[in-house]
Structure 1
Amino acid sequence: MWWPTRRKGFAVVRRAVVLAAFGVALLAVSAKVNLPLPHVPMTLQTLVVLMIGAVYGWRLGVVTIIAYLAVGALGLPVFAGPVGGLKPLTGATAGFLSGFVVAAFITGWFSERGWDRSMVRLFVAMAIGHIVIMAMGFAWLAYGMKLGAEKAWLVGVMPFLAGALVKNTLGAILVPVLRGMVDRRYR
């Protein structure tokens, strides 16, 4: 999708850097739109992660998510709440944040195989991405944070299920619109 294929040289690199920087900024903003919950806040990040994967493709999507995590690890307050540094990457949100990378890969991989051309298939691809994020977050809460499976389910999965459906629907509608805008701009 958005990995350099047709253009050569500096223009390709510049385009990838601009798109990745835009994705990092959008992720930082989406982290600030949050509903604080006891262990893990509900944010718009998963929607943005999945849309980045679908629009950018798996290569640039993964690079963008890793860049976002690196910017946060360096201390810039890009994560939910006024935080940056290593705490979010080692605390309760660690599983979810690492799940972002895998979800961007999966959604981008499906998108590159044409799943982004159908709203239903795109919804399914994004649902798989959401499942991965929640599964990794659940596993980290249950075993890494030692909350146990029942509590991890109650605080790390249940509150996010309805939101995931809404975000998938919104993403399946917005991705074709964004792709049209970006395709026209970068031809």
Structure 2
Amino acid sequence: MTTLTASERSVLQMLWPAQGRGAVWTRGLVLALAGSVALWASARLQVPFWPVPMTMQTLVVTMIAATFGWRLGLATVMLYLAQGTVGLPVFAGTPERGIGLAYMVGPTGGYLLGFLAAVAVMAPLAGDGRSWTRMGVAMIAGNAVILLCGFLYLATLVGASQAWAAGVLPFLTGALVKAALGTALMVAGWRLLASWRR
């Protein structure tokens, strides 16, 4: 059985081993582009759920944070936000509800900024992906940070009580479901990769 170093135990290194600056940069560029496409696709995917339909975007954000780490995770989300800033219809509800900066300063702007905050907060918490507890805490923290940022920004537009009723409460159950799903996918995926590498 091969003994894995600490860097090799990370999910990203196991998915795509890279040694040397050029290989690491190539991997980062390809994965950032792929991650931004995944964020766009997940914004379009709605799953019937109670009390409101659930998109998979926050699940993808938290899985990017847990898989890519904070540097590449932040770069990936920033690339996605930059695509939306220049007017590409990558956000949920675009172009019907607007595009570009006009969309980003609207009611969902806080959630978009929350994607960045969630990556920064949860990537260190997730560790190497092996622990159910650490991954669960990281996934809950990531979802909570997104909701908190969305709430704080929305409260400046409509007031705290309405922001809570419309921007947080309907999404709490979905956030818990996505945190549990993300935890299961990440830990099971790590164990599968670790078994395959032996």
Q: TM-score range by the shorter chain?
A: 0.7 to 0.9
Match of 2:140 in 1: 127
Q: Does residue 1:156 correspond to 2:167, yes or no?
A: yes
Match of 1:140 in 2: 153
Cα deviation for residue 34 of structure 1 reads 3.0
The answer on whether the counterparts of 1:30 and 1:43 sit within 8 Å (CA) in structure 2 is: yes
SS in 2 for 1:78: coil
Structure 1 runs of 4+ aligned residues shifted over 4 Å read 177-185
Where structure 1 has 5 or more consecutive residues not aligned to the other structure, the ranges are none
Match of 1:78 in 2: 90
Measured in 2, the distance between the counterparts of 1:56 and 1:100 equals: 14
More deviation in 84-93 or 59-68? 84-93
The answer on whether the counterparts of 2:154 and 2:167 sit within 8 Å (CA) in structure 1 is: yes
Matches within 5 A, 1:19-98: 19-34=31-46, 42-83=54-95, 84-98=99-113
Q: May I ask how many residue pairs the two structures share in their alignment? A: 179
Measured in 2, the distance between the counterparts of 1:184 and 1:72 equals: 39
Measured in 2, the distance between the counterparts of 1:75 and 1:59 equals: 25
Normalised by the size of structure 2, how large is the TM-score? 0.80
Where structure 2 has 5 or more consecutive residues not aligned to the other structure, the ranges are 1-9
The answer on whether the counterparts of 1:103 and 1:129 sit within 8 Å (CA) in structure 2 is: yes
Question: Sequence identity of aligned pairs in percent?
Answer: 45
RMSD over aligned CA atoms reads 2.8
- CA distance 1:106–1:27, shift in 2 (3 Å): same
Normalised by the size of structure 1, how large is the TM-score? 0.85
Q: Which amino acid aligns with 1:117?
A: R
Tell me which structure has the larger Cα radius of gyration.
2
Instruction: Please give the per-residue CA displacement for 1:86-137, whole angstroms capped at 9, x wherever unaligned.
Output: 123110011000000010111211123x4x2112321111111111111110
More deviation in 133-142 or 5-14? 5-14
Measured in 1, the distance between the counterparts of 2:192 and 2:77 equals: 21
Q: Does residue 1:176 correspond to 2:191, yes or no?
A: no
Instruction: Please give the per-residue CA displacement for 1:112-163, whole angstroms capped at 9, x wherever unaligned.
Output: 3x4x2112321111111111111110010111x1x11110000000010000
- CA distance 1:179–1:24, shift in 2 (3 Å): farther
